[in-house]
Structure 1
């Protein structure tokens, strides 16, 4: 599912507009997008990781996490739709939800421009087409600005999402596609594994221009970055994980953040 057309064809055609839907969203970034599209009143459930926009989601019942979902609580909420994501949610859980939820909306954006299909899909299903079109126009403008900016040198960067064990991202992830907009690539650490484990070695470090430590899901800090940079001898930057991995409405800010990230590395 690497193009917006594929994204729409694969999941959008299965659903009819539902302006009066009762929505449980198990994807933090899409919960934020639904609120952005004016659909907060239709959200009847969310995960504990659905934290944006705080003042709105605070009033929406929690149904567990993205992996440890409370199926019985969702059943009691009687949703008409549940929104899930292939990376975020477990397939067995989704199959259990499909037994009693009329519509299961499965998402899997892989590249930044998939956000256009995602917004149109949510707008089409839930009767917010006009809001979705406005958001898409803003995204297109921001994307054009990024593409028009002067390209820097190509880089190989290791994007770290966890330590103990150390984990990174593969080239077919949304994060890697965001980095690719800057002409940066991530190394192949374990072919076929989307979030590979790795160990530090001279050979690995020698092939890198920089290491990026994400603030989520592991809460890396500047102290982690400073210590690792002294250890391996190449630039190590702390990066905002939400800006790099949250598709949906936060992707607009994410595109702007890419320009800042390039400046951060070039000025290091």
Structure 2
């Protein structure tokens, strides 16, 4: 079997991989939903869905730092990584242990392509197709739920507090914000996750405070609300940044969010 991953790297398999190390939380959840939980031999400490998984599968580290000796001892057939989540140095070292598949997901189409490619690699094409179909159906139901034109409403999506960091262009979160019908207020800022100042809060319609990677909470709403006339809202970062099967649940969440915003 010959595969070209999302970084254009050519991979060849002489059999279906049966021992999987996944170093990306959203991809780990996807593997479980593809029926591959029994094939998982290694995951990260951030692979929190399903909640019992870390008690059942070896934890090999985080997404930026891993125990290479522990991964090698697991004798994986394949190691699943992501361009943004994992470092280039990690990938270089991991390639000496097993075949490394690299994902690069910036759009919903990229997400669909990855799911289908996993279906091919792991011989679960029917389940992969079913997941992408459910995501597309959920997205369509969300579109039908929006009753007002919102494509002029400017959103600042905040991921860090000190310094203030937001989501810029060329990211999956940016793509989702605009797919939902909003305008990403900081898409023209330099960098994928630019730093902004309190002055930049003035012209926003909405401030989205993400639950990850910085754990914004209720107490931060009042702090931000003092600095802007925009509506400040806590949002679930997993639904905006996890690009696997979680998207099935993401669009109902976006429908609920739009109702909170009275759209």
The TM-score, its normalising length taken from structure 1, stands at 0.89
> Is the Cα contact below 8 Å between 1:112 and 1:251 reproduced in 2?
no
Specify which of 115, 119, 122 is matched with residue 115 of structure 2.
Answer: 119
Q: 1:22 aligns with which of 9, 12, 19?
A: 19
Residues 27-176 of structure 1: matches in 2 within 5 Å?
A: 27-101=24-98, 103-150=99-146, 151-154=148-151, 155-176=153-174
Instruction: Identify the residue that residue 3 of structure 1 maps to in structure 2.
Output: none
CA displacement at 1:191 relative to structure 2? 4.1
8 Å CA contact 2:211–2:217 kept in 1: the answer is yes
Provide the alpha-carbon RMSD of the alignment.
2.1
Q: Secondary structure at the match of 1:231?
A: coil
Match of 1:199 among 197, 207, 228: 197
Post-superposition offset of 1:233: 3.0
SS of the residue 1:54 aligns to: coil
Are the structure 2 counterparts of residues 143 and 8 from structure 1 closer, same or farther at C-alpha, using a change threshold of 3 Å? farther
* Contact residue 16 and residue 122 of structure 2 kept, 8 A: yes
Separation of aligned partners in 2, 1:178 and 1:17: 37
For the structure 1 residues 189 and 119, does the alpha-carbon distance in structure 2 shift closer, same or farther, using more than 3 Å as the test?
closer
Displacement of 1:10 after TM fit?
5.1
Query: In the alignment, is residue 262 of structure 1 matched against residue 226 of structure 2?
Result: no
Q: Compute the displacement of 1:146 (Å).
A: 2.2
User: Please, which runs of 5 or more residues in structure 1 have no aligned partner?
Assistant: 1-6
Structure number with the higher helix fraction is 1
**Matched residue count:** 258
Q: Which has the higher strand share?
A: 2
Distance across 2 between alignment mates of 1:243 and 1:230: 27
- Post-superposition offset of 1:109: 1.2
Is 1:157–1:212's contact at 8 Å kept on the other side of the alignment?
A: yes
Q: CA separation in 2, counterparts of 1:94 and 1:9?
A: 14
SS of corresponding position for 1:45: strand
- Summarize the Cα distance change of 1:223–1:42 in structure 2 as closer, same or farther, 3 Å threshold: same
TM-score by length of 2: 0.91
